[in-house]
Amino acid sequence: QVQLVASGGGSVQAGGSLTLSCAAAGYSLSGVCMIWLRQAPGKEREGIAGLSEYGTPTYTNSVKGRFIISADKANNTLYLQMNSLKPEDSGMYYCAADEWISSGDWLRPSEYDHWGQGIQVTVSS
């Protein structure tokens, strides 16, 4: 059974940093595509940082230069380092993974079959 367990959320002041983790069980993150998504209140869930099966990162414009996605294959864990946080970064954060992204769009939520639970990130001004 595939399990992705996200952790590391919390509250932080604007300008601060947080690192989210997504630990996989029953599933190897080696050679798969991975993503972090965010859902702000009243908005759709959006992919914000993706990692191809080759380890190539991609970011949505709003987080580019501030967030870093990475994976520790030895520990089977996906990370999202979030720096220079802004109030608009607040929301529920999810991790997801899949063996194949047919569209080539690593930030498209519908491409991913395996999902972790959401964790809350709140950035106060």
What's the pLDDT score for residue 118?
94
What's the pLDDT score for residue 111?
94
Residues 28-49: what's their mean pLDDT?
A: 94
**Pairing, β 10-13 against β 119-124:** parallel
The two structure tokens encoding residue 45: 């869930």
Residues 92-101: what's their mean pLDDT?
A: 94
Q: Please report which confidence band the pLDDT of residue 1 belongs to, taking 50, 70 and 90 as the band edges.
A: confident
CB-based contact 2:16 (threshold 8 Å): no
Give the tens place of pLDDT for each residue, 65-74: 999 999 998 9
CA atoms of 49 and 1, how far apart (whole Å): 25
What is the chain's mean pLDDT, rounded? 95
CA atoms of 32 and 18, how far apart (whole Å): 24
Q: Please report which confidence band the pLDDT of residue 27 belongs to, taking 50, 70 and 90 as the band edges.
A: confident
Q: Which residues contact 11 (CB under 8 A, 6 or more apart)?
A: 121, 122, 123, 124
- Secondary structure percentages of the chain, helix, strand, coil, to 5: 5, 50, 45
